[in-house]
């Protein structure tokens, strides 16, 4: 029986990278998919000339998120209304209205109201490091977990990266790539420190069949993910191989759980 999936993210474009395939698959299977974004990504980096005169980055990123959501079959997009906190250690972390400085219970109440309104069966948050330590990502974990408690949402998944698997994929790409074909922004596998070890993953979702939608969602965020980036520069088939799996940790799962879907 179809249910509702609420995916909670820190900034516009995070959903395209971490959970886009899962969102597209859920929508294709008849589930209602709701995207909630804590901020509008006010402090993201943007190349010169991308924005129109007088256009703010936050305005552009909201438009891009709408386009990405359409590509994935998302039924609704909500924003919690906080300001992007910037990278770790920046003064913007403690600025008035920043997500990082928000009271966890107050922010969780905003999200819980959405979970209750949607009668969500599943909500996704981030792992406790927020993947890589960004203040807003860590806050998504804290706020999302608390909101699920307040709303009584039965299934909570931490969206993450299988660090061991990604390191292996990067090594293979470097070894097999022809000279000059490896993107400059491809991470160094030995220093790659995003996500968690493989042993912590409970849920591995195959989204290869939805790679085209995932790629379209990434491309929609052109202010943050340019066409020549590591994410989009690979041929379609290679993209599906690189980004055709999404990983989660199911909170409260019994030891040794291994599953392939959120519903």
CATH number, domain of 27, equals 3.40.50.10320
3-state secondary structure of 203: strand
Under 8 Å between Cβ of 5 and 122 = yes
Provide the whole-model pTM.
Answer: 0.92
Would you say 231 and 218 are in contact if contact means Cβ atoms under 8 Å apart? Answer: yes
Report if residue 213 sits inside a domain. yes
Mean pLDDT (whole number) for 19-24: 98
Asked whether residue 263 is domain-assigned, the answer is no
Helices H, strands E: what count in the chain? 8, 7
Sign of the Cα torsion 161, 163, 169, 175 reads positive
Residue 29 lies in a domain: yes
SS3 assignment, position 245: strand
78 or 46, greater pLDDT: 78
Examine residue 52 and state whether it is found in any structural domain, yes or no.
yes
pLDDT band of residue 177 (cuts 50, 70, 90) is low
**Number of separate domains in the chain:** 1
258 inside domain = no
Say if 32 falls within a structural domain. yes
Range of the domain at 162: 4-250
User: Is the model's pLDDT at 3 over the cut of 90?
Assistant: yes
More confident: 167 or 159: 159
For residues 76-95, average pLDDT:
95
Which of 137-146, 152-161, 187-196 is predicted least confidently? 187-196
Q: Does residue 261 lie within any of the structural domains? A: no
- Please check whether residue 22 lies inside any domain of the structure: yes
Q: How far apart are CA 214 and CA 212, in angstroms?
A: 5
Query: What percentage of the chain exceeds 90 in pLDDT?
Result: 81
What's the pLDDT at 238?
87
Tokens 């969102």 -> residue: 23
Residues of 73-101 as b/e, b for ≥16 C-beta within 10 angstroms? bbeebbbbebbbbbeeeeebbebeebbbb
Instruction: Please determine, for residue 161, whether its predicted confidence score (pLDDT) is greater than 60.
Output: yes
């Amino acid at each position: 029986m179809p249910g509702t999936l609420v995916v909670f993210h820190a900034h516009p474009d995070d959903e395209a990278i971490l959970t886009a395939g899962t969102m597209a698959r859920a929508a294709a299977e008849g589930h209602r998919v709701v995207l909630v974004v804590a901020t509008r990504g006010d402090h993201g980096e943007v190349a010169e000339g991308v924005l129109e005169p007088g256009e703010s980055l936050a305005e552009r990123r909201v438009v891009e998120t709408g386009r990405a959501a359409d590509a994935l079959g998302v039924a609704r997009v909500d924003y919690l209304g906080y300001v992007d906190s910037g990278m770790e250690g920046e003064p913007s972390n403690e600025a008035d209205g920043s997500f990082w400085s928000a009271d966890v219970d107050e922010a969780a109440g905003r999200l819980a109201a959405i979970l209750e309104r949607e009668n969500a069966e599943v909500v996704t948050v981030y792992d406790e490091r927020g993947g890589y330590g960004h203040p807003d990502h860590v806050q998504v974990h804290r706020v999302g977990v608390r909101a699920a408690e307040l709303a009584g949402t039965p299934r909570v998944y931490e969206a993450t990266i299988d660090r061991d698997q990604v390191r292996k994929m990067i090594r293979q790409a470097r070894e097999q790539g022809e000279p000059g074909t490896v993107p400059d922004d491809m991470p160094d596998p030995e220093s790659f420190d995003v996500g968690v070890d493989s042993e912590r993953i409970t849920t591995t979702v195959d989204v290869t069949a939805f790679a085209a939608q995932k790629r379209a969602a990434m491309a929609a965020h052109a202010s943050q993910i340019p066409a020549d980036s590591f994410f989009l520069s690979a041929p379609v088939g290679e993209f599906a191989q690189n980004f055709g799996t999404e990983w989660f940790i199911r909170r409260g799962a019994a030891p040794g759980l291994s599953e392939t879907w959120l519903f």
